[in-house]
Amino acid sequence: MAGTVIAANWKMNKTTGQAIEFARGLKDALLKNPVAATVVIAPPFTGIGALATEFKDSNIFLAAQNMYPASQGAFTGEISGEMIVDAGCRYCIVGHSERRRLFGEDNAFINAKITAALHYGLMPIFCIGETLAERNSGATFMVLAEQLKEGLNKIPTNDIKKTVIAYEPVWAIGTGLTATPGQVQEAHLFIRNLLSEMYREKEAAGIPIIYGGSVTAANIGSLMAEQEINGALVGSASLELASFLAIVNFH
């Protein structure tokens, strides 16, 4: 049975001071009212070091929003998996639709990132999802299958157990549009069944499949009521502490 993961993707938001203020409030709230879900925060790179100090000895984990697959070298502006681990991260978001769309990252490059992340002991939060045009043309499952198979190419069974899959329909990210719980459940079930074909059913059953796409405190309960939705990758609703706490405490 897959565990529940609630991850905050802050994107290009929050100074280090703002991040620390949020972190202290979150840590105090979860200390008073613990939750069963694994809580992950993905701040900008500038905030990772400070939050690693704040979250030390807590049950809150850090994720990087991106990484480069090479271990070192002349890659100005990039960060390696080793550096991310050294800074205090346990997770790394890989394949986010904004990286695909704005920075031209393809499935092969994303596969190289996943491979490198796992090599350094990071747990990838691997994002896949279709555009509105692809959904309207009936290509959703074809797109998901291609992204999943190519993104996980040559990833062994032992490593797939350390991976989180995030279904994020591109048309629902930052638009205010949210896939219905039924649409998300259908996509997640397809992903789960495909993982069972690619790996063993036992391993596939333990992989958290989370949803990202305009998740809010108002819709998290109905989403989490679906059997195959194991959590959420939260964007703008994770920037305010009260809003994120309401999502984390979805029960």
Q: Which residues are catalytic?
A: 96, 168
CA distance 133 to 218: 27
Q: Amino acid identity, residue 119? A: H
Strands of the chain, DSSP E:
5-9, 38-42, 60-64, 91-94, 123-128, 164-167, 209-211, 231-234
Which residues make beta-bridge pairs with 123? Answer: 91
CA distance 174 to 149: 26
CA distance 57 to 248: 19
Contact 235, 215 (CB under 8 A): yes
b/e sequence 66-100, b meaning 16+ C-beta within 10 Å: bbbbeeeeeeeeebbbbbbbeebbebbbbbbbbbb
CA terminus-to-terminus distance, the chain:
18
Q: How far is CA 120 from the centre of its chain?
A: 18
CA distance 3 to 37: 7
Residue where the block lists tokens 């063993």? 200
